[in-house]
Copies of this chain bind each other. A is one copy, B any other.
């Protein structure tokens, strides 16, 4: 669960732990079916749960948007808990369908649903999660918030489709890369923050700024995620590395490399990538070395740092509170992958 930044207000930290435990309970309660075969699948995917970035963004954004008169952290209210559960459920649905897309065999050290039960079951289980997310959300009786959530999932799907249309496109432009990750990853982060603020009756400026905060944070998060796929340690990341490259998905360091590398460096990269066997063993080490030589890894790091700084900047309008401070810390934590 949540790895709170060391400096987090102690009272807020304790409240958040309780709130996230409540989100987990609501998640299970919403998905409970009268069919054992469905419940067994839901039990399985609950193991996918990570650090609950999106529900935490929702809960903390809601608290930061309405910090209460005494300026300390209030507890989340009922609608805030529901929206936090909704965004976790949508995120889980995207993980299940992403694993089908990536033909992934493992996630968080366990078998994926597609590996265990076949693609068919994984597709339907993802649909079941999406459907329940909307079901739970419509129970809020706030059509404006339901529409924000659905608009966001529209954009997430667009991002995934744009990425699929560019699989194997080694000339992917940087602007298209940013467009893909803004849609497929950052949109749901942005909506987690903005929908929570909307639920707290925050004004349009606060809603807009929290949306901008979540979007910047989400783009930075995906850049770091893509960097880890190239540079991480498999044990830490919990899934096989180099998957983007083997799927023909070009990420920011490679885009920089294609722009900066000399013809002979380009030629050597091409050789390594075309050699499947080398790519899977020491090939990755060679790729890493080349990307470091051209400063391409640093380039992507710098982008993530810039975006995190911009995310923090978007918080300026919020009143000071432990919750707004935590949002700022959460942006920093993306860089060190505490989330």
Contact = CB atoms under 8 A, between A and B. Distances in A.
A160 to B, nearest CB: 5
Q: From A125, A132, A135, A160, name the one whose CB has the most chain B CB atoms within 10 angstroms.
A: A135
Given A139-B147, A146-B134, A128 B38 contact: no
B135 A138 contact: no
Contacts of A164: 117-118, 120-121, 124
A135 B147 contact: yes
Contacts of A140: 143
A143 B138 contact: yes
A8 interface: no
A119 B102 CA distance: 11
Interface in A252-295: none
Interface string A127-156: 110111011011111110011011101101
Contacts of A69: none
Interface string A68-111: 00000000000000000000000000000100110000000000
A162 B120 contact: no
A124 B155 CA distance: 11
A128 B164 CA distance: 14
Contact of A161 (B41, B97, B143, B153): B41
A123 B95 CA distance: 13
A132 B97 CA distance: 17
Contacts of A124: 97, 101, 157, 160-161, 164
B131 A154 contact: yes
Nearest to A37: B165
Interface residues of A, number: 46
A158 interface: yes
Contact of A35 (B38, B150, B158): B158
Nearest to A122: B123
Instruction: State how many copies of this chain the complex holds.
Output: 2
B157 A134 contact: no
A188 to B, nearest CB: 11
Contacts of A151: 135
A33 interface: yes
A141 B138 contact: no
Contact of A143 (B126, B146, B160): B146
Given A37-B162, A162-B35, A123 B101 contact: yes
A49 to B, nearest CB: 20
B127 A130 contact: yes
A119 B164 CA distance: 11
Nearest to A142: B143
Given A37-B161, A131-B154, A135-B150, 13 more contacts: A33-B158, A35-B162, A38-B162, A100-B119, A121-B164, A123-B126, A124-B160, A124-B164, A127-B127, A127-B160, A132-B150, A138-B150, A139-B143
